[in-house]
Amino acid sequence: AQSVTQLDSHVSVSEGTPVLLRCNYSSSYSPSLFWYVQHPNKGLQLLLKYTSAATLVKGINGFEAEFKKSETSFHLTKPSAHMSDAAEYFCVVIMDYGGSQGNLIFGKGTKLSVKP
Amino acid sequence: NAGVTQTPKFRVLKTGQSMTLLCAQDMNHEYMYWYRQDPGMGLRLIHYSVGEGTTAKGEVPDGYNVSRLKKQNFLLGLESAAPSQTSVYFCASSRGARGANVLTFGAGSRLTVL
């Protein structure tokens, strides 16, 4: 069965230090991968997406993610955390069944805290 | 351009009551979804629609019904609310499937069932 695992439920960093949020997926197919961010009491917003083009994907607010097929990973990184990055982050996988609508699978989320 | 609008934003129900959540999108998207978000569970798909007049079950459809009579609207109904349905509900829409399936989310509807 297809699945997506966010390896940390909570990550805490200091402002100005790097951010790493980990995501692994399992799939027998070619996935499309996304990262979404949810700020408190808000809906989810797309950060970046991978759809079988370049393996290093740049998103908004300085975030980027690298698709590594051999490791079935799609980790999210940022070189220097900002206080405004404090939010919950969701890794999302679409499994390409060849069907018409695809199947979105959400990770359980990683809450990022940023300390001054 | 409003995007995806959900109403109401907050609602408190008693067990057994019924209610409808309304989702409206103005982006001419074909696909619409209803998710629920619970602590530590991420988002779980309740129902979705791939076009006007169509609906399909997601991961957790029991206790909910949906309708997509107009392309821009997707309604989520609770026939007889239960405390287990206390959650934050998110509507989303997308232009298409697979790689084109970038979701636009509403701001959420917080439902409490007493």
Q: Which residues of A47-65 are buried (b: 16+ CB within 10 A; e: fewer)?
A: bbbbbeeeeebebeeebbb
> Which tens digits make up the pLDDT trace of B36-51?
999 888 889 899 998 9
Distances (CA, A) of A3 to A10, A67, B106: 20, 16, 25
How many helices (DSSP H) and strands (DSSP E) are in chain A?
0, 12
Write the pLDDT tens digit of every residue in A46-94: 999 987 778 899 999 999 999 998 899 999 999 999 999 999 999 998 7
Comparing alpha-carbon positions, the chain A residue that sits nearest to B33 is A104
Q: How confident is residue A99, by pLDDT bands cut at 50, 70 and 90?
A: very low
Which chain B residues contact residue A36 at CB under 8 A? 103
Q: Is the pLDDT of residue B31 over 80?
A: yes
**CA-closest candidate to residue A43, choices B67, B3, B30, B80:** B3
Residue A79, SS3? coil
- Report the half-sphere exposure of A25 (CA within 13 A, side-chain side): 26
Q: Please answer yes or no on whether B50 and A104 come within 8 Å at the CB atom.
A: no
Tell me the two tokens of residue A103.
């199947």
Measured in whole angstroms, the distance separating CA A35 from the mean position of its chain's CA atoms is 3
DSSP collapsed to 3 states, chain B: CCCEEEECCEEEECCCCCEEEEEEECCCCCEEEEEEEECCCEEEEEEEECCCCCCEECCCCCCEEEECCCCCEEEEEECCCCHHHCEEEEEEEECCCHHHCCCEECCCEEEEEC
The pLDDT-based confidence of B100 (bands split at 50, 70, 90) is: low
User: Across the interface, do B98 and A32 touch by the CB < 8 Å criterion?
Assistant: yes
Looking at chain B, the whole-number percentage of residues with pLDDT higher than 70 is 95
Closest-CA distance, A55 to chain B, in angstroms, reads 14
